[in-house]
Structure 1
Amino acid sequence: MRLTPTTAVQLEGDAATCVEDDFTVEPYTENCRRVCARGEHLLVGVSPGNSYFSVDLLARLFAWAHRRFTAVDVVIPDTALVHTQLALGHEAKRAHQRSREECNRVHNRVVRAWSQAGLAAAPQRWHRLSDFTDHPRYQALLRQAEDAVTHASPLREACLQTSRTVLASRKPGASFTDEQIEKGAQYVVAELPFIVDTPSILGVPSSVSFYHRPAAFIREVVSARCGLSPAPNQGCALIRPRAVAGNVPQPRRATTS
């Protein structure tokens, strides 16, 4: 599926911002733009504790995505969230319990939004990160990602900075040790395989990984300067609702449930 002739395009750096119906699509690179134009698959990661992803917004996103892409999958990072809970100081049992409860709420929100969008139930498209625990390709890519952040690099610093931001949003005013920040960064590292090669993980011809706000760790991966190199059929894009009367939903601080 290619962009419609009415799509508005504004050049920004290496790629373009495309206004499509209710959403803007900002590919990170020229290759990402080409993968977006193929329109074969979109991967939507829905983060727990982020009230940005309301049922209404997700329903709009899912409806738009199914018009724009041949297939859409959702991933909820349940096992990755455990790293955040541990970094916040919870004991292992409690960290797993809180992560499970939070991700169950997110899963239910995804299911409601999917239905609200008028789509037939598709549980095979609603994944939890724990589904990939024994997935050989995901695990191989995860090991590569872990190796890539072992030594000082812009990617490692971007992951650590993301960890600092997430921890601070969940526990405002708290101070975190280097060990806690390292633990929290494992959440980010667990997402990197889907930035590098979603097609080989999910068995799709090409894929675009969706993000709703700019992320330095994505920029580092797509630059291929960090020891990780995205597959040619892997794209990443910043996808956000178009402004309606000057009002665009903004990410809000994560909850501390």
Structure 2
Amino acid sequence: MLLSVAVASLQPLPLTPRCAQFLDRREHALIGVSALNGYFTPRTIRHLLDWATRTFSRVHVLVPGVELAGTLVARGCPAAKAGAKARAAANNTRNRVIRALDSLDPPDATVVDWNELASVPAYDGVRRRLERLFATDPVFREHCMDAVRPIVGVPQLSREQAENALPFLLAELPFLIDTPSILGTGSSVFCYPRPMPMVDLLYAGLLPVRPAPAQGFVSTALTQAARPAHHLSNAV
């Protein structure tokens, strides 16, 4: 009898035709890996990075920075404990990524968090612009408030909870806007299992900021496909 097993496969889905052009170039990918997210198991991370390192000339993997603490506070974690819990979660995520990369031995892949890049002028410039927009543009501010709801992941979110989580959103958004300038690549696609908060608005031109000319976004959800495994003999 022929048995089959479920194996993971990945079908990248560019958000727009222009994003598809950057995917076809295969120049650079920034792989987003979230902390405290059950989707990103060691197995899933390894599949994602195996695909990325075989597909692109250069790969960076983005893990969260200290702003994760604000998200934890928004979820109900006491502020006094949130910092330590955020650091532990970020370190655990980084270690999972490093172990996956070590098992693949890719030629050019680097793990970064956004705090490491805070002094990079391109990152600092985009983040400061976003912070100014949040302070001065009420429409942009409301889009941001709406965007943090799925990040926090609770049914009812107060304004105070949303404001606690905002630093996480504003720290991550620059990589959806101009990774090429931040990481020094000709073009880049940000890869995540599904479109992230504000991505659709960003690429539809409905925000006061736009993606850089060489910035793209690609959804990278894994799917399960049946693959023949082996024949099982009827002999006893």
TM-score (norm. length: structure 2)? 0.83
In structure 2, the partner of 1:116 is: 103
1:244, CA displacement in angstroms?
1.4
Alpha-carbon distance in structure 1 between the residues aligned to 2:98 and 2:106: 10
Task: Please list every run of at least 4 consecutive aligned residues from structure 1 whose deviation after the TM superposition is greater than 6 angstroms.
Answer: none
Q: Which amino acid aligns with 2:115?
A: S
Q: Structure 1 unaligned runs (5+)?
A: 1-20, 247-257
* Contact kept? 2:145, 2:166, Cα under 8 Å: yes
Superposition RMSD on alpha carbons, in Å?
2.4
In structure 2, the partner of 1:221 is: 202
CA deviations 1:106-140 (Å, max 9, x no partner) are: 01100111122343695xx1112210222221111
Alpha-carbon distance in structure 2 between the residues aligned to 1:30 and 1:243: 26
Query: 1:235 aligns to what SS in structure 2?
Result: strand
1:80, CA displacement in angstroms?
2.4
Alpha-carbon distance in structure 2 between the residues aligned to 1:24 and 1:40: 18
**1:132 counterpart = 2:131:** no
CA deviations 1:186-237 (Å, max 9, x no partner) are: 3122111001100100011110001112334111112232111111111111
In structure 1, the partner of 2:166 is: 185
Larger Rg: 2
Percent of pairs with identical residues: 32
Once structures 1 and 2 are overlaid, which stretch shifts more, 157-166 or 107-116? 157-166
Q: Which amino acid aligns with 1:82?
A: A
Instruction: Check 1:206–1:120 CA distance in 2 against 1; reply closer, same or farther (3 A cut).
Output: closer
Instruction: Check 1:96–1:148 CA distance in 2 against 1; reply closer, same or farther (3 A cut).
Output: same
Query: 2:176 aligns to what SS in structure 1?
Result: helix
Alpha-carbon distance in structure 1 between the residues aligned to 2:98 and 2:22: 27
* Contact kept? 2:148, 2:197, Cα under 8 Å: no
In structure 2, the partner of 1:194 is: 175
In structure 1, the partner of 2:64 is: 77
Alpha-carbon distance in structure 2 between the residues aligned to 1:121 and 1:235: 20
CA deviations 1:61-90 (Å, max 9, x no partner) are: 111111111011011112221221233455
1:31, CA displacement in angstroms?
1.4
In structure 2, the partner of 1:15 is: none
In structure 2, the partner of 1:236 is: 217
